[in-house]
Structure 1
Amino acid sequence: MHPVDLTFTHSPWLIPACLALGIAYAWLLYRGTGDRHGWGRSLRWTLATARALVVALLAFLLLGPLVRAWVREVRKPVVVLAHDGSASLLLAGDTAALRGSYAGEFDALAQALADRFDVRTFTYGREVQEGIHHDQQANRTDMAELLRQVHDRFAGPDLCAVVLDGDGIINRGRDPRHEAARLGVPVHTIALGDTTVRPDLLVHGVEANRVAYLGNELPLLVRIEARHLRGRRTKLAVELGGQVLAERDMEVQGDPFLVQVPMLVKATATGMQRYRVVLRPVAGEHTERNNVAEITVQVLDDRQRVLLLAEAPHPDIGALARALSGSEAYSITATTLDKAPAELADFDLVVLHRLPGTRHDGKAVIARCRERHVPLLFILGTDVDPEAVNALGLGLRIEGAQRAAVTDAQPLFEPSFALFQVDPATAQAFERFPPLQVPFAQYRAGPGAAVCFHQRIGLVRTEQPLLLVQRPQTGPRAAVITGEGLWRWRLADQQQNGGTDRFDGFFRKLVQLLANRSATDRFRVQHADVFDDQEPVELQAELYDAAFELVHDAEVDLVLRDAQGLERNYAFSRSGRGHRLVINGAAPGRYTYTASTTYDGTPLKASGEFVVQPVQVEQVRTVADHGLLADLAAGTGGRMVRPGGLDELREALLTDPRYAPRSHAYARTTDLIALGWPFLLFLLLLTLEWTLRRRSGSY
């Protein structure tokens, strides 16, 4: 028997005062009533006692009494059942059995375990979904994400086992063996798919620069694989819009046969170009679905020139140079202040590192850039000159700076930032990056500035900007990063996320925003250039007034055209960042659009294009990897079975004595007034008083 505790939100020493209040109220109410109504002593005492208890109890409840009771409950052990929903299982051959008899057996396993276990079911593929779905539509397989979510949601004494099926073919995420080891429970695997190596010819992948330039030769690197087809001949072709741009004969010279084939095509049109790489099929292939691969390249007619100008050599400059040089859209020049080029107007953006500072103010360079309307990105150093920064009118005010004092500030994303899209995963990744070294001062953003990141100092979230963009009504934009140490961010991205895509992508967007001379357009639409065919197409429209403040109350429409010229009409919905449109189910292909709105009587339009591409990675590997499934089971103390062994697995789980219900005790705190009986006591006492007074003739 667990004790019941009574606690108060106010001092319990007030309880005698509650009782005294009730007695005083009853005495004032019923004194002298015997002479007026002729009530006897016992009746008066009964009525006064009832009223005193009502008032005292009411005052007592105002003290906020809380009842804490210990509750014991018995929970079933948790078993997680997960099904591989990827399309690669359909290439194993017997799809009818997969969707028919095996699906029924797997569902029956879940039902049989439900009597003893708390069974949680999931389907994993590109994403993790609750429930079992046998449609096999996922175009990627991420087993590690499934196990990570199981750990986050169920790890603890209640979780006793994980049962997952699949063919062992993964093409997204980390190695699932690491996530399985973290669970601390057996992971049982059901081996599906076919491990037989069948004759097959496939395009394993295509590599190309994501950006090319009109009239240039675009190099493609095609990875080809062939199995059990030695001596066969085929053709490799590159197509665009049904037209063959390049073609070459090939002979399979080994088994297995792996080769990288370079191809050159000429970029003849601007915009998003969708190149199709095709291997002509040969007789006896297991499947022809993997003979085709597509890649989308943005063809531009010019590239933007960026000057990285530093007070002195610094790893931040190297980090930015590597981030930008990964895209052919930029031509990068990095140098120091004493070697600054004479003609700065040749550049689309100048990045100033540790300028203006107390040792070198860079006034001459800044003045020349402003004369030529060259956008500027300032990265302030620890020896910043606050007065020089304030005088530049960058939408940033620095006050109370202390020389040589530094603050470590981590980025805190501002959700209302709308000058370019920052997806939630990128925002969360940046918030985990190490702090920048920011000169100790008070920073305040002006009315013409858009803050992208605030400063988080330790656990304290501040409103002080870490990165802001100035939005002038006329002239080029400017941006300020109030600290140095960007190289740590790029290194952290590599360590935490297995690559630098988030860092590189963010700063490319920032540079694109600043360097784009049309960035002062009042109406524009932002989106990714390429979408996978199973993800929604999301477009963000932004409308600004004459002061470049975001406008929300205008109607924004869009006309979408596919490659055949078929038009569809859509309307944007208002969102916290402007206007948003999500298009689901777009078929693979190239799309162009025209967005339009009217503000202050002025019609505004924005146009653009994007590509929806099919994801075919599930067709690349057709041979099941049961070795991975065996490793998962062996490494966690589980077992691997075939589809015919589900009964064996069910009996092993149901008869294992370790999997017994667990008794849990926890404290449950409840407001005393929420229990109900105080109300009943009120009602009883007031009813008693009313009844006695009614019978005595006072009512």
Structure 2
Amino acid sequence: MSKLNVLFSFLRFLTLFSVFLLLINPKFDHVTLSAEKPNLVLAIDNSSSIRHLNQSENALDIVDKLSQNNELSNKFTVSKYIFGEQLKLSDTILFSESQTNISNAFNQLSQVYKDTNVATILISDGNQTYGNDYEFITSKYKNPIYPVILGDTITHTDLKIKQLNVNKYAYLKNRFPVETIITYNGNNNINSRFVVTSGKTTVFSEAVSFSKDKNSKTITFTLPANRVGVNSLKATILPAENEKNIINNSKNFAVEVIDQKTKIAIVSDFPHPDLGALKKSIESNEQRSVTFMNSNNTTSQVNDFQLIIINQPDNKFNNLFDELNKENKNRLIIIGTKTDLSFINRINQSFTHEITNQTEDYQAELNLNYSPFIIDDLDFESFPPLKSNFGTVNFSAPFETILNKKLGNVSTNQSLLVTNEANSRREAILFGENIWQWRAQSFINTKSFNAFDNFIGKLVQYLASNKRRSRLNVEYESFYNGNTNVIIKAQFFDKNYVFDTRETLNIVVKDKASNLEKVFPFVLKNNNYQIDLSNLPPSEYSFIVRATNENISKSGVFQILEYDAEQQFLNANVTKLSQLATNSSGADYFVDEVDNLINDLVNDNRYATIQKSSKNTIPLIDWKYLLGIIVLSLASEWFLRKYNGLI
């Protein structure tokens, strides 16, 4: 056999062998090794209390020292976070935030570093202005925490108004209660005086005394409500001799005095959890009171109430509806599984409900174009479904939908909660029951009933009033505490009362003390315009909201009370930070012990680099070189045969 034939045989064998390999398609394991360093988190307190305690430079020096240390960088993957109200991944540390929530910072870190090996250095004074007690956060955050304690640890003599409790509203000619808790930090016996002033007038005064053992006192008293509007007051505990921090000796507070109360009747002939939930939500605003009644004893008292809520009516409610129509009274009707739909269709002039004798569970979907008043999205789609009658609702009068029915993930375009206005009367209809579950779910979502109660409160406020609808609606508080966000919301509608996103709204804010005016633009957010005025200093302000393209405006007044929660502290909270370190199997350090912290972390065997292997199974068909071999061998054989005249 010639050498040429041997070469042809070899090329043909190589081709067939490669093809057979592709048909069999064997698989190979490819193992790669990687080294994973443990994480080192620097959680830096960015609140203004650090600056107030003169610890800004110490904190920045500590951050630089930890970030630039080569031993730490070689052993750990270092990440820097700052926190005040919220945790943020940032290198900009200004010590400017007005609130501190250490507990929330660790809650967020627990989500980021879940099931990972991480050491956490907390650089803070340990003074938290709100939130859950961070001392016990180790039940959720399972990693060691190393607090670096900022601030003076020496105990100084200090008198402080720790807490002041007062209702937001009071009624004209009544007296409203005030409760004040005063604390003393010191070793000597002292005498002082607690004073409450309104302007330059003293409205309450009481002598107080403290000692090392008797270091707190609760003072409860009442004050008269003699003037309608916002009444601003100031509570002060006179400072002791040589007291270092006198900022926390005073606290401003305010009470809005009103001259009437909105009365609401809930009429039902049977008990239901919805009724209690509505009462709780409505009466969360002290301007409103709720009375429970049944269909037999309401008719003669209709004019005693600004709003009647009717729960699942039947024929027994006939006289009540006649009286409501006669007096043209506002109402909220709840239609559920026990409602007599035949009676509703006969007595009501604005809609008819198809009768199928079947029920369905519907979830809620917010209508972002609802115009009569501002509705915040409470994450309605996370709420449990309401039990509702199955069937089409046909409206014979103009109506506005707040919530639509949603069946699973499908929008039905059927109304769940609507309002309508006709002949100077306002009416709302809720086509479902078990709204009490919404209030419970809202608490689970936000850890507070406030969001749901505000939603019901806005609905009740709209129904209890007969004011003419405005194209520009502005929502604001009469006064804001200095430690809360000053948010003003607005809605603007076109001439057909459809929410208009094209308009530009501006607010002109005037400080009544200095007569200084500032103009701020509103920002469009979801279904309303918003402006955050939290940077304004404490004072009394008047404002005008104007629409740029049309001659429409709304005016009002509000007050920002002076209070800086971050300036209430005199020392670092050493006890809590030390306990936090102990509970998490970490250790606490002071400013001059950072070198010890670095040495302890570098030599801690709990933080070791982990070598991880990753196995990747690769089929031979993915190996492109084999296809190249087949092409090359076939091409070579063809070329040689052609060259030698065999083709």
Asked if these proteins are the same fold (TM beyond 0.5), I'd say yes
- Structure 1 residues 431 and 288: alpha-carbon distance in aligned structure 2, compared to 1, 3 A threshold: farther
Who is 2:357 aligned against? 402
Tell me what 1:338 maps to.
Answer: 296
- Deviation string 1:183-231 (CA, Å, 9 cap, x unpaired) is 3322222233344432111111221111123343333222222233765
Which position in structure 1 is the counterpart of 2:181? Answer: 223
> So what's the TM-score if we normalise by structure 2?
0.80
Matched with 2:595 is 647
Which residue number in structure 1 is paired with residue 517 of structure 2? 567
Equivalent position to 2:66, from 103, 106, 109 = 109
SS in 2 for 1:149: helix
User: Given the superposition, is the C-alpha separation of residues 489 and 662 from structure 1 closer, same or farther in structure 2, using an over 3 Å criterion?
Assistant: farther
- Asked whether the 8 Å contact 2:374–2:491 carries over to 1, the reply is no
Cα distance 1:423–1:291, how it changes in 2: closer, same or farther (>3 A)? Answer: farther
- Residue 276 of structure 1: how far off its partner (Å): 1.9
Instruction: Give 1:287 shift.
Output: 0.6
| Deviation for aligned residue 1:586 | 1.2
Distance 1:500 1:543, change over 3 A: closer
Amino acid of the residue matched to residue 143 of structure 1?
I
Question: Do the aligned partners of 1:449 and 1:468 also contact (CA within 8 Å) in 2?
Answer: no
Which of 522, 538, 542 is equivalent to 2:471? Answer: 522
Q: Is the 8 A contact 2:230 2:478 kept in 1?
A: yes
Matched, 1:436 2:386: yes
- 1:496/1:176 CA distance change after superposition, 3 Å: farther
Counterpart-to-counterpart distance in 2, 1:482 and 1:195: 61
- Taking structure 1 as reference, are residues 410 and 73 closer, same or farther at Cα in structure 2, changes over 3 Å only? farther
* Cα contact 1:337–1:362 (8 A) shared by 2: yes
Whether the 8 Å contact between 2:365 and 2:381 is mirrored in structure 1 is yes
Q: Which AA in structure 2 matches 1:438?
A: S
Matched, 1:155 2:105: no
How many Å separate the matches in 2 of 1:498 and 1:292? Answer: 30
Residues 305 and 533 (structure 1), Cα distance of their counterparts in 2 relative to 1, 3 Å cut:
same
> 2:529 & 2:445 partners in 1: Cα distance?
33
8 Å Cα contact 1:142/1:171 also seen in 2: yes
Determine the structure 1 residue equivalent to 2:203: 246
Distance 2:616 2:475 in 1: 51
1:243 partner amino acid: K
Mapped partners of 1:320, 1:503: distance in 2: 10
- Structure 2 Cα separation of the partners of residues 595 and 138 of structure 1: 28
Contact residue 35 and residue 609 of structure 2 kept, 8 A: no
Q: Which residue of 2 aligns with 1:176?
A: 134
Q: Which has the higher contact order (CA 8 A, sep 6+)?
A: 2
Q: Among 40, 48, 52, which residue is 1:87 paired with?
A: 48
Is the 8 Å Cα contact of residues 120 and 143 (structure 2) preserved in structure 1?
yes
Give the corresponding residue for 2:453: 504
2:609 pairs with 635, 660, 675, which one?
660
- 2:152 counterpart of 1:202: no
Other-structure match for 1:121: 80
Query: How far apart, in 2, do the equivalents of 1:660 and 1:160 lie?
Result: 11
State the partner residue of 1:323: 281
Deviations 1:518-542 (A, max 9, x none): 2623332113444455765433322
**Does the CA-based 8 Å contact 2:40-2:121 persist in structure 1?**
yes
* Residues 1:99 and 2:60 aligned together: no
Aligned-partner Cα distance in 2 for 1:263–1:154 = 49
Q: More displaced, 614-623 or 281-290?
A: 614-623
Q: Distance in 1 between matches of 2:501 and 2:422?
A: 19
CA distance in 2, matches of 1:150, 1:444: 51
The residue that corresponds to 1:595 in the other structure is 545
Q: CA deviation at 1:81?
A: 1.0
Root-mean-square deviation (CA, aligned residues, Å) is 3.8
Q: Counterparts of 1:266-285 in structure 2 under 5 Å? A: 266-285=224-243
Q: Please give the per-residue CA displacement for 1:21-58, whole angstroms capped at 9, x wherever unaligned.
A: xxxxxxxxxxxxxxxxxxxxxxxxxxxxxxxxxxxxxx
Question: Do the aligned partners of 1:160 and 1:659 also contact (CA within 8 Å) in 2?
Answer: no
**Match for 1:501: what amino acid?**
N
Question: Does structure 1 conserve the Cα–Cα contact (< 8 Å) formed by 2:42 and 2:78?
Answer: yes
> 1:234-283 CA deviation, whole Å, 9 max, x = no partner?
3333233x332413131214334322223433334433333222222231
Query: Who is 2:411 aligned against?
Result: 462
Pair 592,388 (structure 1): closer, same or farther in 2 beyond 3 Å: farther
Report the CA distance shift for 1:571/1:498 in structure 2 as closer, same or farther (over 3 A): closer
What is the rounded CA distance, in whole Å, between the counterparts of 1:186 and 1:446 in structure 2?
A: 66
Give yes or no for the alignment of 1:287 onto 2:242.
no
Among 310, 322, 325, the residue aligned to 2:268: 310
After TM superposition, the structure 1 stretch with the greater mean CA deviation from structure 2, 467-476 or 184-193, is 467-476
CA distance in 2, matches of 1:120, 1:126: 19
Measure the CA separation in 2 of the matches of 1:74 and 1:463: 54
| 2:112 counterpart letter in structure 1 | R
1:81 is aligned with what amino acid?
L
Q: 1:137 to 1:73 in 2, by over 3 A?
A: same
* Separation (CA, whole Å) in 2 of partners of 1:448 and 1:631: 63
Deviation string, structure 1 residues 582-632 (Cα, Å, up to 9, x no partner): 445211122222234488x8x444222223234433344544433332333
| SS of equivalent residue, structure 1 residue 252 | strand
Q: Secondary structure at the match of 2:127?
A: coil
TM-score, normalising length from structure 1?
0.74
The one-letter amino acid of 1:402's match is N
1:371 aligns with 2:350: no
105-114 vs 543-552, greater mean Cα deviation: 543-552
- Following the alignment from structure 1 to structure 2, what is the Cα–Cα distance between the partners of residues 441 and 545? 33
The aligned residue for residue 489 of structure 2 is 540
Q: Which residue of 2 aligns with 1:634?
A: 582
Match of 1:696 in 2: none
Query: Secondary structure at 1:548's aligned position in 2?
Result: coil
> What is the aligned-residue identity percentage?
21
CA deviation vs aligned residue, 1:3-28 (integer Å, no higher than 9, x gap): xxxxxxxxxxxxxxxxxxxxxxxxxx
- In structure 2, relative to structure 1, the CA distance for the partners of 1:541 and 1:492 (3 Å cut) is closer
Letter in 2 for 1:586: L
Choose which of 173, 193, 198 in structure 1 pairs with 2:151: 193
1:475 and 1:439 map into 2 onto residues whose CA distance is 29
Question: How far did residue 293 of structure 1 move?
Answer: 0.9
Taking structure 1 as reference, are residues 380 and 448 closer, same or farther at Cα in structure 2, changes over 3 Å only? same
Matched residues, number: 591
Distance 2:523 2:354 in 1: 41
Pair 1:488 & 2:437 matched: yes
Structure 1 residue matching 2:121: 3-state secondary structure: strand
Contact 1:199/1:228 (CA < 8 Å) preserved in 2? yes
CA gap 1:341/1:630 in 2 versus in 1, 3 angstroms? farther
Partner residue of 2:100? Answer: 141
Alpha-carbon distance between aligned partners in 1 of 2:31 and 2:259, rounded to the nearest angstrom:
72
1:348-387 equivalences under 5 Å are 348-355=306-313, 359-360=314-315, 362-386=317-341
Amino acid at match of 1:376: R
SS of 1:520's equivalent in the other structure is: coil
Q: Give the structure 1 partner of residue 554 of structure 2.
A: 606
Structure 1 unaligned regions, length at least 5: 1-68, 670-676, 678-699
CA separation of 1:306/1:569 partners in 2, compared to 1, >3 Å: closer, same or farther? Answer: same
Number of the residue aligned with 1:213: 171
Distance in structure 2 (CA, Å) of the matches to 1:156 and 1:455? 40
Q: Identify if the C-alpha distance between structure 1 residues 401 and 285 changes in structure 2 by more than 3 Å, giving closer, same or farther.
A: farther
Distance in 1 between the 2:577 and 2:430 partners? 48
Where do 5+ consecutive residues of structure 2 fail to align?
1-29, 619-624, 626-647
State the one-letter code of the partner of 1:439: N
Equivalents in 2 of 1:163, 1:143: separation in Å?
A: 13
Give the aligned residue type for 1:606.
K
- The CA distance in 1 between the partners of 2:412 and 2:275, in whole Å, is 27
Shift in alpha-carbon separation, 1:278–1:450, aligned structure 2, 3 A? farther
1:284 Cα deviation after fit = 2.0
Contact conserved, 2:43 with 2:82, CA < 8 A, in 1?
yes
